[in-house]
Amino acid sequence: MRPTRGVFPLFAFALLATGLRPGSAAAQSTTIAPVRGEIADAGKATPLPGAVLRWLFDDAPNTSAATAVSDEAGHFTLVRPARAASRLVVQALGYRADTLAVPTTGAPYLRVALRPSQELGEVTVTARGPAYSALTPAHTQVISSRDLTKSACCNLAESFETNASVEVTTSDAVSGAKQIQLLGLDGSYSLLTVDNQPALRGLAAPYRLGYLAGPWIENIEIIKGTGSVVNGYEAISGQVNVKLKEPDKTDQLLFNIYGNDLGKVDVNLNTSARLNSKWSTVLLLHSDHLGNRVDRNEDGFLDLPRATQFNAFSKWKYISGHGIVSEVGLGALRETRQGGQLGFRDDGSDGAFAQHYGTVQTTTRYTGYAKTSYTWPARPYQSLGLLLSGTDHDFTSTYSYGYQEGGVAGPLTRRTARHYNGAQRTGLGTLLFQSAIGNTTHVYRTGLSFLYDDYRELLSDGRTYLTESPAEAYARQNSRRRELVPGAFVEYTYQNSRNLTAVAGLRADRHNLYGWQVTPRLNLKYDAAKNTVLRLGAGRGFRVANPIADNAALLASAREFSILNKRPETAWNVGGSATQYFTVLGHPATAVLDYYHTEFGNQVVADLYTVPSIVIISDLGPGGRSFARSLQAELQIEPLKGLQVKGAYKYLDVRTTYEEVLLPKPLTPTHRAFVNLGYASAFDKWRADFTVQWFGQRPVAHLTSTHEHGSGQEYQPETTPRYGLLNTQITRAFKRLEVYAGIENLTNYRQPNPIEGAADPFGPYFDAAMVWGPVYGRLTYGGLRYRIE
């Protein structure tokens, strides 16, 4: 680990000078106390969450400041501006707005009872909020539930198709697994959380995007940069937070069925019930199945694996009405995949993998969590929470494999099966306390955490060595790593009532294998003008790599694995953004420009350049560099009523030192462009979306390439051609039913020969891992959604 000398004092000073979580209310002066209170339904006398409060000023009657929103128990804390406004407007959807006169002295506690509006009747009022938040200190983009219906969105992998920040790539042409890239880095460097709890990490990484069904998702938050220390130390490029449907807020029933021309069928069923005023529950069910053997490019291999998944998740929520909120969730998943040549049949023996090339993966996964928080009734800004979660993840995978073995008549090709199996047991506990120092200008969060990870892996390729004892063979093929990581963190937020938010965080973790790890992070948000937001962020990230799981796509090749790494990965991420909100023809518009630089202190590098037949996985060498630079510009406008246009351009410069030569990382495009057009008619009866994605050249590392860069001479990797993809979808909505149909890859573009050496899959040049474009071409799909609100 590199010493933090010279950097740590800067963050320590920031903590001491500005001192600890982002507050939801704007700040107030130190001489004027905040206004607190509670909001309820006048007819039912039940708490009313989500009500909006804002001050009105006599000298500017059409403007507002210092807004707040009531929490789940109906409580609120609202900062009083220095101008000491005395009129307060309270609004909630479906209720009559109320204007209150608030005493200008003391610390008033208000009890507000709103009456249902008789004027709304059966009318549903909807609004499209900006995709880029103007409130969060970190650079955050939100993919709403409405955005998720713009594409098929059968699972999380398909949820980013109308988004420019995250790119989804196919890992290999055999398993069908997909990965995300954020800021030019693989998905393993971005923290994936579910309801703000770290999830789907470790050995689940290769297929995790398929483990969350799209209809389960309420929204997705994409946070660029290292983010908050509260969620741990693993985020390096950013965080993707998936919010699942809430028991007390989602539809009573949602049924979704999807089918495409490959023969894949997805079925989803969400049901929720409000058992009483305190208890609510939701059950989320998903199943998908692809049984057809499809080979559109006629290379003798399945374009997509035959696969079946059963997935269930249940959440129970309790709201006492007196400050206690509890939630329990349980999930179970079972998935099987089978890919390879058309003639491959799995009979349960290794012999089948020697007759035809094939792959088989089986995953069984159980998850559970419990969250409990208590909010002080007289201090809505002060709370104590306990978060517990556990995961049991098991998988087995088998790949056909051929390797060269010397003989009397020369080298012989041995056909065998390569096994990669793994088990992960994870437990995570966090105790979190939040409060304010004096008033809500200064808010802090502090707590303790404990992480338990137990990894067991087996990688066997069928090779035996005469000089190797059974114990040595077992040690070569099996690995186990147990991590015990207690930690503590503190995060301070300063937020004035005008234009500045500063969040400084620091955590210290004692890793049983790698010692103390200190993680400082800082985020600043400055409102330079009424509609101009500037952000800066910097922080350190730390993670223990899983060399095989992080590079599982390379198992679908003739490459031999050589694993030499001994150190964890560390990196600094520094960047910022400028967001401008404005109007075009009377409609809201947003322009965003952001730049981020990630510099690794150490990275576990998978070297595909030096020896093409061997993937050498090792630590970054002495004097070596590994970095990622990301520049993105995006514009969102609504030129006509009902028509939304999004356009973006992204430049990526991702390089790593391989054998003392700095080279671009394979399969990362330097340039990418994106355009999305979305149209909705009156009352959303008709919706249509059209998306264009353009990808620039990408470097590749083929097995057939000859690489001489280790000698010091200048080397330029091979590159892929540029190409574009066009997707479209149309939706017709009725009262409770939506019918949709769409086409992906409208021009039927396909990567030529996505599997190198497909005619000789047991030969030395077989490689299904260099996938940079579509494999199966055009895809037509359709489906329907039925809901009862």
Catalogue all structural domains in the chain, each as residue range(s) with its CATH number.
23-114 (2.60.40.10), 139-243 (2.170.130.10), 244-788 (2.40.170.20)
What is the pLDDT, as a whole number, of residue 9?
Answer: 38
pLDDT in tens, 35-59: 888 888 776 667 888 788 887 654 4
Q: Which of 407-411, 491-495, 701-705 has the lowest mean pLDDT?
A: 407-411
Q: Given a cut of 90, is residue 122 above it in pLDDT? A: no
CA end-to-end distance (rounded Å), the chain? 53
| Mean local confidence (pLDDT), 209-214 | 94
Give pLDDT, residue 498.
82
Cα separations in angstroms, 616 against 565, 606, 654, 746: 9, 6, 19, 39
Q: How many CA atoms lie within 13 A of 196 on its CB side?
A: 8
What are the tens digits of pLDDT across the range 517-541? 999 999 999 999 989 999 999 999 9
Residue 195 has pLDDT above 90, yes or no: yes
The letter for the amino acid at 770 is: M
429-458: burial string, b at 16+ Cβ within 10 Å, e else = bbebebbbeebbbbbbbbbebebebebbbb
pLDDT digits 0-9 by tens, 420-448: 999 999 999 999 999 999 888 899 999 99
Give the tens place of pLDDT for each residue, 54-68: 876 544 433 334 578
At 54 the pLDDT is 81
CA distance 429 to 449: 6
pLDDT band for 709, please (50, 70, 90 cuts): low
From residue 487, give the alpha-carbon distance in Å to each of 385, 484, 632: 16, 10, 35
pLDDT reading at 29 higher than 70: no
Q: Does residue 179 contact residue 171 with C-beta atoms inside 8 Å? A: yes
Q: What is the pLDDT of residues 634-682, one digit of tens each?
A: 999 999 989 999 999 999 999 999 988 999 999 999 999 999 999 999 8
Is the pLDDT higher at 787 or at 62?
787
The pLDDT value recorded for residue 85 is 55
Which pLDDT score, from 0 to 100, does residue 14 have? 38
Residue 382 · residue 375 · CB < 8 Å: yes
Average pLDDT over residues 444-453: 97
Quick one: pLDDT band at residue 129, thresholds 50, 70, 90? Answer: low
Confidence (pLDDT) at 116: 73
pLDDT for 119: 41
Please list the residues that pair with 459 across neighbouring strands. Answer: 420
Question: Is 765 a residue whose pLDDT tops 50?
Answer: yes
Query: Cβ-count burial of 568 within 10 angstroms (0-12 exposed, 13-18 middle, 19+ buried)?
Result: buried
Q: Rounded mean pLDDT of 488-498? A: 92
pLDDT higher at 106 or 295:
295
In contact, 88 and 55? CB cutoff 8 Å: yes
CA–CA separation, 716 and 712 (whole Å) = 12
Residue 647 near residue 675, CB atoms below 8 Å: yes
Whether residue 492 is predicted with pLDDT greater than 80 in this model: the reply is yes
Any bridge partners for residue 709, and if so which?
none
Percent of the chain with pLDDT over 70: 89
- What average pLDDT does the chain have? 88
Q: Is the pLDDT of residue 581 over 60?
A: yes
Mean pLDDT across 101-117: 74
Q: Name the band, by pLDDT with cuts 50, 70 and 90, for residue 509.
A: very high
**pLDDT of 101:** 75
What does the pLDDT read at residue 114?
A: 85
Instruction: State yes or no: pLDDT of 387 exceeds 80.
Output: yes
Q: Distance between CA 96 and CA 115 in Å, rounded?
A: 6
Which pLDDT value is given to residue 127?
A: 46
pLDDT at 580: 95
Higher pLDDT, 139 or 413: 139
Q: pLDDT value at position 45?
A: 63
pLDDT at 579: 96
Residue (of 731, 646, 727) closest to 687 by Cα position: 731
Unique residue bearing structure tokens 């199945």: 289
Beta-strand runs (E) in 247-405: 253-260, 265-274, 279-290, 306-319, 324-340, 358-375, 383-405
Is the pLDDT at 6 greater than 50, yes or no? Answer: no
